[in-house]
Structure 1
Amino acid sequence: MDNSDEESQNSSENSFNEMVTAAIGAGFAFVHMLHVPPQGNHVIQVPELTGRQWVDKLLLDAGRCYDNRRMRPENLVRLHSILCDSYGLTGSRELESIEALAMFLWVCGTNQCQRQMHERFGRGLGTCSKIFAHVLYAMTRFANDVIRPKDTSYSVVPPALVEYTPFFDGCIGAMDGTHIEVIVDKGVRDNHINRKGKPTQNMVAVHDFDMRFTYVGAGTEGSAHDMRVKRKAEVDASFPHPPSGRYYLVDSGYALRPGYLTPYPNKRYWVKEFQTRGPADA
C-alpha cells in the first residue's frame, strides 16, 4: 500500500470517529435535556376534564362559576330553565343544552374566540359556530322581552329619588354610550376607528333607577358621534321615548333637548359638596 492509500484510509477513519463522537455527545445532551425522572418517581398525569365535566364542576363553585361565566350557579340554572321553556333553547344527543349555554356565557363573559371554545370543550369548529348561533338566537328573543321599562307610563317616582323630591320627580333614568372593541373586515375598519385609534362599536344604553337596562342599541361604527348614535336609537321601535314631562339624565356628549337633561356647562359637580349642602341648597 502506497502512502496515498494509507493517508486516505486514516482520513476516513478519523472522519468516522468524529461522527461517532458527535453522535454520542448529541445523544448525551438530548437525554439530559429531557430531565427524565429516576425510577420510582413517576409523574401521574391527571386526565383533563371534558367540557361537560368542567361545566358541572364550576356549578358547584359559585366563585369560579362567576369568574368564568359572569353568573352565579343558581342564576345560570334559572336562565337555562327560562330559555328552554320559553325561548327555544334545546340540546342534542351529543350536547346538552346546559353545556351549550355555559359555552356561550364563557365565550361572551371572558372574551374568548371560537377556536378557544373548540379547544376547551373538545367540539369541532363547525359545531362551536352552530352552538353559539343557536344560543344567541334564544338569548336575543329573551333580551327583547326583558330589556324594556317595567312601567312605560313612568307614573311612580322611583324610590331612589324620593329623598330628592320634587327636584328629580320627572327623571326616569339615565342614558349614556360606551365603546366596545370589535374585529371587522379591513375594508370597513377605518369607519370603526374611534378617537383612541381602536376599532369599536359606539353603543348606547338606557337604564332606570333599579339599575335595570331598558334599552341597548349596538351596531354603530366607533367613529360616530354620540348624537348620531342617539338619533339612530330614537328611530328604533323598541326605544323607550320619555313621555311628556319626563326626562333622562345624559352627559355633555348629548345636546340639551326636551326629554334629555344635560349638566350645566362649565360646572364641576362634587359628590361630597352635594351631600354636605343637600339638594335644597344646591
Structure 2
Amino acid sequence: MSVDALGKLCELLKVQGGLSDECHVNIPEQVIIFLIILAHHKKNRTLQVRFYRSGETISKYFNKVLSSVLRVQSLLFAKPVPVPDDCIDPRWKWFKNCLGALDGTYIDVTVPEEDKSRYRTRKGKISTNVLGVCNRDMNFVYVLSGWEGSASDSRVLRDAISRHNNLKIPIGNYYLVDAGYTNCKGFLAPYRHTRYHVQEWAYGRNAPKNFREYFNKKHSSARNIIERCFGLLKKRWAILRSPCFYQIKTQNRIIIACCLLQNFIRLNMDSDPEEDMSLENEQVLIREEHGDNQDSDDEIIDSVEGSNEWTGEMDRHVWTDEETEVFVGFMEELVIEGRIADAGQFRPGSFEKLAAKMNERFPGSGFQITHCKNKVKRLKEKYQFAADMAACSGFGWDDVKQCVVVDNKEILAAYMKKQGVRLYTPGKPFPLYTRLEKIFCKERANGDAAVCGNDAEEEVQMNGSEEMDEEDTDIFNSNHDCSESLLQQPNSVASSSGKKQGKKPSSFKAAKDTKMMKELTDTLKYVFDQQGKRLDAFAQAMVNTREEKKAGDILSELGFTDDEVIFIALKFSTNPQLEKMFWSLGNSQKAGFIRAILHT
C-alpha cells in the first residue's frame, strides 16, 4: 500500500469508521499495527518489541481498527454492474446481464477441540468455507465467512440467499458458478462431463469440438475471475495462509476485513502491486464470430432450485427403492470398516468400492463412480434438510410414522419461504433417516458462526469495540504465559489508557480487573477441588488394596487352595457385586458363598 493510499484509509476510518487518536497512539500508528498483523501475520510479542507497546495495547488497537473497517463495509464493497449489450470485452461479451462470478474457498482457522470435526474438510484440514462474490473488476461484492469446512458450497450459497443480510440478485441477472453449484435462476453453471478448466484450452490443438465445449471454454475464461480474486487475496494477506489464534468470531471478521481492504487498495491505487500478471496470460482467447446467451426472464430470485436448462441431457441413473436400500447398507459397511472421516465424508477409494459392490449386486445396471457420488450427495442433503427441520421450533420427529411432523401449515410455509428449497416434505415417510444419521453423524456443519459484511457491521454497532477488547485480550493473542501477563497488567493498563499512575482506573478497567480476579479465584478453587478428589480416589484405592489382600488371607484360612483363591479374585474383578456380597457375610457364611461360586 502506498503512502497516499494509507493516508486515505486513515481519513476514511476517522470520518466514517469512528476511529480516533488516543493520547499516545495516533490513527496512523493504529492502522499500521493492524495492517502489519494482516499482511505479515506477526504475533503480538513481535509488535510489542517493534512499537514499544504492551501486549494489551497492541490487542486493543487491533480490535479498534478491525471494528472501524467493518463499519465502512457498505462503502468498500463494490456494487455489481451487469454486462451491457454493447460490451466488447472478449471474456464477458458472451454473457449479457451477468453480474460477475462466485465461488467458495477454504481458509485455515483455529477452533476448540470439540468443534474440529465440523470444520475438517475432505482433505483433513481445519478450515472455514468462505463464499466470495466478485464483479468483472476483481472487486468483492459479497463475502460470507464462518461456515464449517465440512459444509458444501451449495449449502453455503443457500444460506447466503436466505439469510437476513442476503446476497441480492436483481431481476434478470445472474452470476457464473462452477459445476459444484446448482444450475438455476440467477446462477449459470457449465455443462458437466465436458472439458472445462482453463488449462485444458491453453493450446490451439485442443480447440472446442462442439457447442458444449465452446460454451464451457467461454464460461471458464470469465468465471476464472473469482479464482484470481481469491489467489490475490491470500497472496496479499499472510494471516489467511495459516491459522491464527484469535477466537473464531474474530477470525471470521478478519477474513471480511481483508476482502474490504483489498477492494480499497484496488480502488485507490493506480496499479495493484500484488497482482500477478501471469494470471492474465493464462486466458487464451480464440476469435469467434458470435456467441448466443439467453437472458433469464424470471421475476424474483429468492431461492436456489434445480433446473434442467443445462443439465437435462446428462447421463443419469434412476434409482429404485431396492437399489437405494442396498446402497445405504453398503455405506454402513464402509462406516464399520472405518472408511468415513469426520462430518460424514468418505475417504479416497470409497466410491470405487461402492460402484463395484452395486454392479456385483445388480448385474447389468452399469453403476459408475459419478452415480455413487451423486447419490451420496443427494442422501446427505436430504438428511441434513430433514434434521435441520426437525430441530426447529414447531417441528419434530415421529418415530412411529418415521417422518418429520409440523404443528400447522403456517409454520411450514414460513420455514419453506426462508429456506427457498424443498428437499424433504414433512409427513412423508423417511425410513432411512436413522440409518443416515449414523453415517453422516450429528457433528455436522450448522453455520452458527457464519457472518457477512452487514452482519459484522451490525454486531460492531450494537456491541462496540469494548466487548471485542474483552474477548481478545493479550493473554489469548500473545505468546507469553498467564503469569507474565498478570505481572505486566498494571503497567499495560497505564500505557494503553494514556493516564498517569496516580489517577484511578476507569470503571470499565476496574470491572475488568474484578472479573479477572474472580476467574482466577474460581480456577484455583476448581484445581483444589480436583486435587481433593484425586486424594480421595487414592485413599480408596489403598483401602481396596488392603481389602483384597485381607480377602486372600481369609480364603486361605478357610481352607481354599491357591488356584481357588486366584479364580475367586478373577470373579471379583469382573463382577464387583459378588465382592460386595462377600464382605457383607460373616466368616461362617463366606465359605459357603465361595463354594457356591466355585460350583457354578
Task: Return the TM-score normalized by structure 1.
Answer: 0.67
CA change 1:232–1:93 in 2 (3 A) is same
1:160 Cα deviation from its structure 2 partner: 6.2
Could you tell me which residue of structure 2 aligns to residue 133 of structure 1? 63
Could you tell me which residue of structure 2 aligns to residue 280 of structure 1? 290
Could you tell me which residue of structure 1 aligns to residue 22 of structure 2? 92
Could you tell me which residue of structure 2 aligns to residue 118 of structure 1? 48
Instruction: Tell me if 1:178 matches 2:178.
Output: no
Instruction: Tell me if 1:256 matches 2:183.
Output: yes
Could you tell me which residue of structure 1 aligns to residue 162 of structure 2? 235
Could you tell me which residue of structure 2 aligns to residue 83 of structure 1? 13
1:170 Cα deviation from its structure 2 partner: 2.1
Could you tell me which residue of structure 2 aligns to residue 109 of structure 1? 39
1:167 Cα deviation from its structure 2 partner: 3.1
Instruction: Tell me if 1:226 matches 2:226.
Output: no
Q: Which amino acid aligns with 1:79?
A: L
% identity of equivalent residues: 33
Looking at structure 1, the residues matched to 19 and 8 of structure 2 have their Cα atoms a distance apart, in angstroms, of: 13
Of structures 1 and 2, the one with the larger relative CO (CA 8 A, separation 6+) is: 2
Residue 192 of structure 1, aligned match among 109, 119, 127 = 119
Q: Secondary structure at the match of 1:133?
A: helix
Looking at structure 2, the residues matched to 207 and 114 of structure 1 have their Cα atoms a distance apart, in angstroms, of: 32
CA change 1:158–1:174 in 2 (3 A) is farther
Is contact 1:164-1:279 (8 Å) kept?
no
In the alignment of these two chains, the number of paired residues is: 209
Q: Secondary structure at the match of 1:189?
A: helix
CA change 1:264–1:92 in 2 (3 A) is same
Is contact 2:129-2:145 (8 Å) kept?
yes
1:214 Cα deviation from its structure 2 partner: 0.7
CA change 1:258–1:279 in 2 (3 A) is farther
Looking at structure 1, the residues matched to 183 and 124 of structure 2 have their Cα atoms a distance apart, in angstroms, of: 28
Looking at structure 1, the residues matched to 291 and 144 of structure 2 have their Cα atoms a distance apart, in angstroms, of: 37
1:266 Cα deviation from its structure 2 partner: 1.5
Q: Deviations over 1:97-151 (max 9, x none)?
A: 1011011011111222323333332221211111111001100011233214155
Residue 215 of structure 1, aligned match among 142, 146, 151 = 142
CA RMSD of aligned residues (A): 2.4
Q: Deviations over 1:225-249 (max 9, x none)?
A: 1111111211244434222221100
Higher helix share: 2
Q: Secondary structure at the match of 1:229?
A: helix
Looking at structure 2, the residues matched to 165 and 199 of structure 1 have their Cα atoms a distance apart, in angstroms, of: 36
Task: Return the TM-score normalized by structure 2.
Answer: 0.33
Q: Deviations over 1:178-226 (max 9, x none)?
A: 1111111112122111122111110011111122211011011111111
Is contact 1:215-1:238 (8 Å) kept?
no
Looking at structure 2, the residues matched to 263 and 239 of structure 1 have their Cα atoms a distance apart, in angstroms, of: 24
Q: Deviations over 1:260-281 (max 9, x none)?
A: 0111111213255462352637
Looking at structure 1, the residues matched to 43 and 148 of structure 2 have their Cα atoms a distance apart, in angstroms, of: 21
Q: Secondary structure at the match of 1:276?
A: coil
